[in-house]
Amino acid sequence: MPLPLTRKAPAKINPVLEVLGKRPDGYHELSLLFQTIDLHDLLTFEPLAEGLRFECPGAPEGIGPDGSNLVLKAAEIFLGKYPQKKGVLIRLTKNIPVAAGLGGGSSDAASTLLGLDQMFETGLGPEGLREMAERLGSDVPFFLRGGTALGTGRGEKITPLPSMPGIDLVLVKPEQGLPTPAVYGSGKARFTGGECTRQFLELSREKGLSYLAGSLFNGLEPATFALLPETWNIKRWLLEMGALGALVCGSGPTVFGIARSPDHARSIAEKLRLPGRRVFVTRTIA
């Protein structure tokens, strides 16, 4: 196959995220919807005579060749299963903000597994890579396929769903990040029983975009607002500028707004760009 090999690693939003309760293992039981979007990182894979090398040109803080890097962890797990394979250089180009609730690290990890599977022609595919993905994090199994999916358990049990209609989005990421454990541990999450997920799925089959936008829900949103009040202001501004709906994405702090059209999304984005704040215009992808 032609080398080097390049793969996109898309970000995600969660139109619905329900926290159902605390599990005996210390994690939270979730019911959430995943949707990939066009904002993405790029991973390039090049053969080496031996060894594993990682590069991330212009790496943002928190991305480096250490033990916490999910790309390296994914590669080490894969190559541990296939020690006879030759070396590889993995180069990551980051576009997705770090610690933003957009799943960038999880997507990079899944794309690393998929890229190595393709490069070394091991033929595992998404199903064969699932066990490795689950070892890397709750969101990683979703990114093996992407698109639209239901997540249950800790979020790692994935059920693919029919694609949502194309939706134009504005993403606003405050300068400050939010660690996921702090959001879950704040005691501010709202617990629900799965009804928000069911309602959204019913509306997605029958109704238009405005109905979907009105059924967005995130049980972690009160915690994000309490820890970083700027996120509440961003959501309010998005709605005041005509977004059909707005929601904190995942554990935050990114807030996404649903626009009526690409031009509407660009108009909102221009008004919200301020120093230290990152704003993206993007769209859902199948």
Q: What is the pLDDT of residues 214-255, one digit of tens each?
A: 899 999 999 999 999 999 999 999 999 999 999 999 999 999
Q: Is 269 helix (H, G, I), strand (E, B) or coil?
A: helix
Residue 67 pLDDT exceeds 60 = no
Pairwise CA distance, residues 31 & 182, whole Å? 20
Q: How far is CA 55 from the centre of its chain?
A: 22
User: Per CATH, the architecture of 5-160 is what?
Assistant: 2-Layer Sandwich (3.30)
pTM, two decimal places:
0.93
What is the Cα–Cα distance from 15 to 13, expressed in whole angstroms?
A: 6
Gap between the Cα atoms of 106 and 154, Å rounded: 14
**Residues with a known catalytic role:** 12, 139
Q: Could you read off the pLDDT of 92-126 as tens digits, one per residue?
A: 999 999 889 999 999 999 999 999 999 999 999 99
Task: Find out if CATH 1.10.1740.10 is the number for domain 168-283.
Answer: no
**Across all residues in the chain, what is the average pLDDT?**
92
Check residue 155 and give left, alpha or beta (phi > 0: left; psi -120 to 50: alpha).
Answer: left
What is the DSSP track for 127-187?
Answer: HHHHHHHHHH-TTHHHHTT-SEEEEEETTTEEEE-PPPPP-EEEEEE-SS---HHHHHTTS
CB-side neighbour CA atoms (13 Å) of 136: 33
Averaged pLDDT, 272-285: 93
Which position has the higher pLDDT, 58 or 181?
A: 181
Side chain identity at 195, as an amino acid letter? E
Helices 262-272, 230-240: inter-axial angle, 10-degree rounding: 140
pLDDT tens-digit readout, 189-209: 999 999 999 999 888 877 678
Ordered by start, the domain boundaries in the chain are 5-160, 168-283
